[in-house]
Structure 1
Amino acid sequence: METTRATLDVHPWKISTSTLDKTKRRLHESITSLGNGYMGMRGNFEEYYSADHHGGTYLAGVWYPDKTRVGWWKNGYPDYFGKVINAVNFIALDIFVNDTRVDLANCNYKDFYVELNMYDGILSRQFVVDLGNTQVKFSFERFISITKKELACITLQAEVLQGTAEIYVVSKLDSNVQNEDSNYGETFWQERNKEVSEKLSSLTTQTIENPFGIEQFVVTTSMTHNLKPKKIKKEPLFISNEFEFFLETGQTVRLEKEVLVITSRNVPEEKQIEQAQKLLQTYGTDFSTLKAEHSEAWHKRWELADVAITGDDKAQQGIRFNLFQLFSTYYGEDERLNIGPKGFTGEKYGGATYWDTEAFALPLYLALAEPSVPKNLLKYRYNQLPQAYYNADKQGLKGALYPMVTFNGIECHNEWEITFEEIHRNGAIAYAIYNYTNYTGDTSYLKKEGIEVLIAISRFWADRVHYSKRNKSYMIHGVTGPNEYENNVNNNWYTNKIASWVLQYTLDNYQKYEKEITISLPKMEQEKWQDIIDHMYFPVDEQLGIFVQHDTFLDKDLKTKDVLAKNELPLSQHWSWDRILRSCFIKQADVVQGLYFFGNHFSLEEKRRNFNFYEPMTLHESSLSASVHAILAAEIGEIDKALEMYERTARLDLDNYNNDTQDGLHITSMTGSWLAIVQGFAQMKTFDETLSFAPLLPKKWQSYAFHINYRHRLLFIKVSNEEVELHLNHGTPLTLEVYHKKYTLTDDLFVQTKNS
């Protein structure tokens, strides 16, 4: 398995290396990605690089609907596959020294170093080009501002260490870009306008036409520099400002590049260049000031979000890396946006929204952001309710079916086992409403928009089940559960469980708030739902004492994963799909996912038996798997297994566990490291209107500490070998439980740690 362990330094606040490994360039580009929720990019070099790499710049909400291409069409297939598209390369700085092009794939260099400073939100790099009689040290810094969403800043400093250097720099805006994931060589941008001057050069492009009525996005990218260019060039989809410097030994020059990116999502085409000029005047061009403001904003984010671990620098680096990339992708300012599994770091999964957000991301944003942020995630789905009705109707079903993959609410995934069968995602949308309401205590969304969504989803489940006369039970056939290594199974336990739960949760809240709800739910329909709830079929095995993953799972040749050779893993990259589907090996939490969601429905012994049965067959080849297992392992007292699963989720990308980080980071699963600590080791639960903790401390760690927002209060929790500290930093006193004993937290509370 390819790994970055040998070349990435371990540091609590930095991702760095002094090695340029050509075989890992794509990997490091993913890991050193930057973003600000509005736009982002992979950690590409500013200068030309001729060896294998993946250049990528992406703009939130800008995408293209590509025609669905399948071997043969099936009724119900989506018409198009939506995907994020690579946008203008605005960091480009081609560099020539004494007529030699600087290209680290070919030229002689030394003292290479790259560093992502997560505390400040700055990516920096340096190296020395050695041309024999001439040596020039190049230093770069760049950031994408989290205080000024349209702004990115790049600096290049050249210092002549030896000899004489004629340095020529070509600063570019280049929209001659393609996507890597599909449509190789196809261009998605067409030029609309260019305006160039010594002060501000702008390139306006538009996405090409599509036959599906999806809007064509218009993007204007503008650049300005601290120095006057020698020459300005214009070519199709391209603008450059060119600079020339003559330096002797000991002399230094610094070029600063400020970029503004404006899209038609916010500003109409005819006003974009004018808006860029206004922003340039408003923002100013002082790089030091802009950098300080950006870094200070990151420091403020860290004050709330940081999880401090002592005794294990790798664990510390992992959680901070994940939090940094999460908040670089989404911080909740725009309710039209959601969280793509790759964020701004790659094109795999099309850059669209999955169920990951509701199942894994929402809990973190509930605790680490203002209440408006998770509420915006709920509004995102509510605003797409009409499209969910459309998706269900396309399958010939009533109610609403939320998509597996989407940009606008319409399903745009073109694999039948996902589009038609992985319908458990519908339950995650409803669970998010419960999670928000349960955590915040705010019922306002539930009683208005939320109940509409819940009823629509419940009507889908009521139509999707069928009644088995032979078993006198309701069943759900032909599904794919969370374990995507099995398709078209009957009675996936998790799917049946979440369907039944949605119906019950909807009924309970409709009846509780009926006088405050404007939507009507006929009595006959309520009775039908209750009958489904009362007679839902759940596959179980009494002898083993487990919930059976689906009807025929126990008929498989059951083996544990330790029989697999290392060169067979990841299984998805070595076995045929047919062989995988027939095997007992599990991609990710399935039954265990239900035990996690509905933890107050099951006894500790039920959790232990199911965990011990399924985890040895689970390969964790989905990035979403390890965190759920870490949480359950901690709860049942398997602290070493919990730590193993934490390390896997926290360093999934840094250590490239699944040999796919080169395609982009696993953004939505990055919440898993936080979940594993807060809901796993600290055992934070919010069932039944009660906030509770039962903290454990891994043997390798000396302590860990974190903040959470909870019902208008700010709490600080620190766990060491000796004691659990709880501090009420803001808000009114709170009654909570620690190790199942009630306390009233008015200021500070200290409880002796009980490790199992």
Structure 2
Amino acid sequence: MNAYRPEYRHRDYKAVLFDLDGVITPTALLHRRAWHELFSAYFDQFPGVASYTEQDYFNLLDGRPRYDAVQAVLASRGLELPWGTVEDPAGLDTICALGNMKNDKFTEVLLRDGIEPYAGSLAYLRQVLAAGLDVAVVSSSRNARMVLSAAGLEEHFPLVMGGQEAAARGLAGKPAPDTFLAAAADLGWRPEECVVFEDATSGVAAARAGGFGVVGVAREENAAELMEAGAHFVIEDLAELVSEDSVQAWEMDSWSLLRDEHRDTDGAQDTVFSLGNGFLGARAAQLGLGDQSGGTFINGLHEAWQIRHAESAFGLAETGQTMISAPDFRTLRVFINDEALEVGRTEMLRDELRLDFRDGTLCARTLWRTAEGHRVAVMARTMISFTDRHLALQDVHVRLLDAPARVLVQSSVVGYRSARTVASPEETDASAAGVADPRKSEEASQNPLHPAGNAVNGSRLGISYAVPGSGMSVAAMVEHQVSTTGGADQQLRIDRKTSDESADEVISARLEAGQGIRVSKYAVYNCSRRHPAQEMLQRSDRALDHLVEQGMDEHFRTQRDFMADFWQRSDVVVDCDDAGLQRKIRWNLFQLAQAAGRADGLGISAKGVSGNGYSGHYFWDTEIYVMPFLTYTNQQWARNTLRARVAMIPAATRRASIMNEAGLLFPWRTINGEEASAYYPAGTAQYHINADVVYSLNRYLSVMEDDEFLLAGGAEILAGTARMWASLGFWRGQEGNERFHIHGVTGPDEYTAVVNDNLYTNVMARFNLRRSAQLLTELAGQHPEQYASLAGKLELSDEEIALWLKAADCMHIPYSESVGIHPQDEHFLNREVWDLANTGPDKRPLLLHYHPLVIYRFQVIKQADAVLALWLRSSDFTAEQKLADFNYYDPLTTGDSTLSATVQSILAAEVGYRELSWEYFEHALNVDLENLHGNTGDGVHVASTGGVWSGLIYGFAGLRDDDDRLCFDPRLPEAWRSISFSLAWHGMRIAVRLERESITFTLDGAHSRPIWVRGEQVDLVPGESIVVPLADQGPVREGRPSLDKVLEVQSEAGVDVPRKAW
């Protein structure tokens, strides 16, 4: 291996373009032999003319088109011949005749001597093909196909851009980049997405001129020349790129997710491979499925209706809301000689999806064999733009590989066909249970999208709808840019039509083998709660003016730039031997970008924009599980997410009044700001939503010091939520020994409802009251005029703030001296213990198999409740209390909610259960990737993906920030060598690298800042790396807490809580 070779990143490219001679096959030897035989015989006719030498080949022939090469050699001897025509036979004194004679000579030598590919090149080719990359041969040789056939490689290269093909299409040869550019276009990739392997300086120069990645192959000790010509790096043989490590790099690519096996039937893959930007989302666009509808979503687009309670009562939620599908742009149908290419009907030779985290794109590729036996390759690359949040793109390429045919491509935007929910996955056993699964979407009306007008504007098609119940409107407008590839110049027929149900464009043409059709589809969406559908159409039409002008390739480039910035701020890199772990981590982090990136002041629903599970509602999930990631990595996204809560203040004020409380009460689940939870015990009763919002707001303010946001609604949230707690709670006890209680609430655990003094609620309410008082007092000192105006508007007094502090100081925090733990609520320890060990998987989740009253009678936990308080308010508890509480509650926790695993992982890591911590983390990591809860088909569990980030940073890196400081107490897993990430802090960034024996901090900013490691202050200095030694990675405890131990603890405490006989 020579000194020129740097690191080569395989998955930076989508396609590999190989020169033939000297790269794949040693045809140069055959060409040199053929040229030598040709010119030796020819120059014998001219006495005094210098004989042909081997140096002539390298100086005048190598890399040039054949006829140009003949002219160059003759000119070097002072000989001139007319050019002639390509049909000139051997014997004529023309340049073309000599060139054709050389071709005959080469064929003679090839058939006589045969040819074998370079062993290293063959191994590398197999590696590339196994990785799913496209390949092509780009050669000046007119014999390229013959050589590939002789070498047994023809079937591996469906695209060959040889001398004959270039001549037929009028393409200039190397060093012009035309042949490389044409090959890339035929494959459907941009030049910067392709890497070229070349052994000649003219080929290297051509590839660099075209904007390709270039690898020089220096078989003739010409590395310096290849580098000088423009190669990015040089190798001596392609075998240098074939090793165990490089094979693993292909197979375990950490920047993309591949499906190349069977398609599922429960919709999980459509979720896992979905795309979104926080505003607009689409489930995986898979080829060969006919019309696709119900899979494109817009954040906030919903239908609303009057909830009909069987037995109504005052204050119950009145308005139901459910996310509905927008008009769906994903439909793509291909017909070959009138045969539809469809799954289940047409033979599929290849069927893959690749979700690229670095590009933010989904590439679907299928290889079909028609009933006539001909192969057709179809590639569709889909993108939901982060830079233009209303834009969806689909770039489709249909290519005939081995026979002419009539090709017809139908591209559509399909309106709402019928109201339906995603079918229940078998794993949930919901149908057998005979109950509705509350995790799924509620039904809207039979047809929530009412046609509101269509549009045909030149090449643009538009459809629009009104949503009567919610009063919303939505429109989609599309434009297609159509071209042919492979040198086709046939006339395309294009038909366009719109109806109430769809907008369709049909493109057809008669093509030859090797030719194709490229359809670039721009779809723009707009929706509104205030403006009519026609205006939405007009907005979409205007947007297309500049979006189409930018061009498809430019949109893909800007998307990659956007994602590069995202990953620079957000990536978490783990060094370990599990090659697939990094990919799984990045998939989870990528989902957070897709759910939040361009929500731009809208909420983040439980499923983001990947599906309508949980009816597309916003919950507390965002504040507790998603906002930590946003706050430390993407502050504008965090600010926008908090803006959604500010927008809800009027509705929250009304809701508090209805519930007979002062201040604000945020809805438990909502889309439009109004409470939509029809089942109040597990909905409205979860008053902790108020404290969750303030907890998230406080972290944001601690990281960003954003007084502007505080004055633009944040302070109203602080005051309104504190007022609600002061109004909801009540006092008991004598003066001097008073306690503040909160009754009739539900904590995060929805298997225990409407209880008194829920630990989590009281702990978080205490924080809410105290922090609201502190921040408002600071605001009064720093911005007295603005605060005076705010206080006047809210009728806020110093006496009221003092009352909040008193309530916080006197908050009742349940604790059992006899059992030695914090009870989850006042009566939790008096309930029977559910025998989870003998509750089979056929009875899980419990909520689908037992009446709520049955569940409520037991000590059984759906998701971390008291344990969640131990994490969020870590400084409120001692290490001994955390261990005792975790030991008690962990065996009682079913994990029926995906919100639980990461919290349990974080606390298990802190108290020393390393293997258990990893077990919980791994579960969270794979919740959707392996459909562990059986409902991935309803959409991504966004909160769980946020929990993965928290598990990495709060769990394994040991961050605690609940006292507005950055404190680290690491717990690096045994199998990991290191973990690296960065955090925003006070307008700067701190890079962190945790290793087994040290943790290193590097501050990128202008001012020194302190952080704490295991209680010791560490002062960070801008630009310097501070290394803090670590004696260990915290305590180590074997096994896991057990249910038997829970009963033993109760027995020792004299608590008589029998286990039910199941």
Identify which of 915, 920, 931 aligns with 1:640. Answer: 915
In the alignment, structure 1 residue 437 sits paired with structure 2 residue 701? yes
In structure 1, the gaps of 5 or more residues are 1-8
SS of 1:166 mapped into structure 2: strand
Deviations 1:666-709 (A, max 9, x none): 11331111111111111122354532222221112222111111
Structure 2 vs 1, CA of residues 554 and 580 (structure 1 numbering), >3 Å: closer, same or farther? same
Aligned to 2:273: 32
How far apart are 1:63 and its partner, in Å? Answer: 1.9
Aligned to 2:465: 205
Identify which of 306, 309, 325 aligns with 1:67. Answer: 306
Distance of 1:482 and 1:677 partners within structure 2: 22
Aligned to 2:60: none
Deviations 1:458-479 (A, max 9, x none): 2222222234569964432222
Deviations 1:69-101 (A, max 9, x none): 332222112221122111101121122223222
Structure 2 counterparts to residues 462-473 of structure 1, below 5 A: 462-468=726-732, 473=739
Structure 2 vs 1, CA of residues 39 and 326 (structure 1 numbering), >3 Å: closer, same or farther? same
Paired letter, 1:318: K
Please say which of residues 216-225 and 612-621 is displaced more in the overlay: 216-225
Aligned to 1:5: none
Paired letter, 1:331: G
Aligned to 1:176: 416
In the alignment, structure 1 residue 152 sits paired with structure 2 residue 392? yes
Number of positions where the alignment pairs a residue of Structure 1 with one of Structure 2: 739
In the alignment, structure 1 residue 352 sits paired with structure 2 residue 617? yes
Contact 1:315 1:647 in 2 (8 A): no
SS of 1:541 mapped into structure 2: coil
Contact 1:629 1:642 in 2 (8 A): yes
Aligned to 1:233: 497
Distance of 1:444 and 1:420 partners within structure 2: 31
In the alignment, structure 1 residue 755 sits paired with structure 2 residue 1033? yes
Contact 1:48 1:95 in 2 (8 A): no
Deviations 1:234-271 (A, max 9, x none): 32232211111323433332222121223346986555
Identify which of 568, 582, 603 aligns with 1:338. Answer: 603
Structure 2 vs 1, CA of residues 365 and 108 (structure 1 numbering), >3 Å: closer, same or farther? same
Aligned to 1:90: 329
In the alignment, structure 1 residue 708 sits paired with structure 2 residue 968? no
Aligned to 1:134: 374
Distance of 1:659 and 1:364 partners within structure 2: 26
Distance of 2:719 and 2:363 partners within structure 1: 51
Structure 2 vs 1, CA of residues 21 and 749 (structure 1 numbering), >3 Å: closer, same or farther? same
Identify which of 439, 446, 450 aligns with 1:190. Answer: 450
Contact 1:222 1:261 in 2 (8 A): no
Structure 2 vs 1, CA of residues 709 and 420 (structure 1 numbering), >3 Å: closer, same or farther? closer
Aligned to 1:325: 591
Structure 2 vs 1, CA of residues 229 and 276 (structure 1 numbering), >3 Å: closer, same or farther? farther
SS of 1:706 mapped into structure 2: strand
Distance of 1:398 and 1:275 partners within structure 2: 42
Contact 1:388 1:402 in 2 (8 A): yes
Distance of 1:510 and 1:139 partners within structure 2: 57
How far apart are 1:491 and its partner, in Å? Answer: 2.1
Structure 2 vs 1, CA of residues 494 and 722 (structure 1 numbering), >3 Å: closer, same or farther? closer
Distance of 2:819 and 2:917 partners within structure 1: 23
Aligned to 2:940: 665
Distance of 2:688 and 2:642 partners within structure 1: 18
Contact 2:472 2:530 in 1 (8 A): no
Aligned residues: CA RMSD: 2.6
Distance of 2:366 and 2:798 partners within structure 1: 73
Structure 2 vs 1, CA of residues 230 and 730 (structure 1 numbering), >3 Å: closer, same or farther? same
How far apart are 1:599 and its partner, in Å? Answer: 0.9
Structure 2 vs 1, CA of residues 563 and 111 (structure 1 numbering), >3 Å: closer, same or farther? same
Distance of 1:731 and 1:561 partners within structure 2: 54
In the alignment, structure 1 residue 14 sits paired with structure 2 residue 253? no
Distance of 2:923 and 2:1033 partners within structure 1: 22
Distance of 1:525 and 1:389 partners within structure 2: 18
TM-score (normalizing by structure 1): 0.92
Paired letter, 1:39: L
Distance of 2:928 and 2:670 partners within structure 1: 24
Paired letter, 1:377: T
Distance of 2:389 and 2:466 partners within structure 1: 20
Structure 2 counterparts to residues 256-335 of structure 1, below 5 A: 256-264=520-528, 269-283=533-547, 284=549, 286-311=551-576, 312-331=578-597, 334-335=600-601
Contact 1:36 1:145 in 2 (8 A): yes
Distance of 1:511 and 1:276 partners within structure 2: 47
Deviations 1:163-195 (A, max 9, x none): 443222211121133342333771111222222
Please say which of residues 606-615 and 250-259 is displaced more in the overlay: 250-259
Distance of 2:444 and 2:321 partners within structure 1: 16
SS of 2:472 mapped into structure 1: coil
How far apart are 1:424 and its partner, in Å? Answer: 1.3
Structure 2 counterparts to residues 686-705 of structure 1, below 5 A: 686-705=961-980
Distance of 1:579 and 1:377 partners within structure 2: 38
How far apart are 1:196 and its partner, in Å? Answer: 1.8
Which of the pair is proportionally richer in helix? Answer: 2
Contact 2:290 2:333 in 1 (8 A): no
Contact 2:465 2:533 in 1 (8 A): no
How far apart are 1:609 and its partner, in Å? Answer: 0.9
How far apart are 1:131 and its partner, in Å? Answer: 2.5
Identify which of 655, 661, 676 aligns with 2:930. Answer: 655
Please say which of residues 633-642 and 440-449 is displaced more in the overlay: 440-449
Identify which of 114, 117, 120 aligns with 2:359. Answer: 120
TM-score (normalizing by structure 2): 0.66
Distance of 2:399 and 2:801 partners within structure 1: 75
In the alignment, structure 1 residue 107 sits paired with structure 2 residue 382? no
In the alignment, structure 1 residue 485 sits paired with structure 2 residue 751? yes
Please say which of residues 458-467 and 471-480 is displaced more in the overlay: 471-480
How far apart are 1:571 and its partner, in Å? Answer: 3.0
In the alignment, structure 1 residue 415 sits paired with structure 2 residue 679? yes
Contact 1:134 1:165 in 2 (8 A): no
How far apart are 1:215 and its partner, in Å? Answer: 3.5
Contact 1:201 1:224 in 2 (8 A): no
Contact 1:179 1:347 in 2 (8 A): no
Structure 2 vs 1, CA of residues 89 and 484 (structure 1 numbering), >3 Å: closer, same or farther? same
SS of 2:325 mapped into structure 1: coil
SS of 2:300 mapped into structure 1: coil
Structure 2 vs 1, CA of residues 275 and 513 (structure 1 numbering), >3 Å: closer, same or farther? closer
Structure 2 vs 1, CA of residues 54 and 542 (structure 1 numbering), >3 Å: closer, same or farther? farther
Identify which of 193, 213, 222 aligns with 2:478. Answer: 222
Structure 2 vs 1, CA of residues 91 and 225 (structure 1 numbering), >3 Å: closer, same or farther? farther
How far apart are 1:321 and its partner, in Å? Answer: 0.9
Distance of 2:316 and 2:834 partners within structure 1: 36
Contact 1:226 1:285 in 2 (8 A): no
Contact 1:341 1:666 in 2 (8 A): yes
Distance of 2:384 and 2:956 partners within structure 1: 34
Structure 2 vs 1, CA of residues 739 and 604 (structure 1 numbering), >3 Å: closer, same or farther? same
In the alignment, structure 1 residue 611 sits paired with structure 2 residue 886? yes
Paired letter, 2:271: S
In structure 2, the gaps of 5 or more residues are 1-250, 422-440, 484-491, 1035-1062
Contact 1:504 1:530 in 2 (8 A): yes
Identify which of 853, 857, 877 aligns with 1:602. Answer: 877
Structure 2 counterparts to residues 339-738 of structure 1, below 5 A: 339-370=604-635, 372-446=636-710, 449-468=713-732, 473-514=739-780, 516=784, 517-518=787-788, 519=791, 520-522=795-797, 525-526=800-801, 528-530=803-805, 532-558=807-833, 561-738=836-1013
Paired letter, 1:45: Q
How far apart are 1:400 and its partner, in Å? Answer: 1.4
Distance of 1:63 and 1:407 partners within structure 2: 8
SS of 1:401 mapped into structure 2: coil
Structure 2 vs 1, CA of residues 158 and 67 (structure 1 numbering), >3 Å: closer, same or farther? same
Aligned to 2:36: none
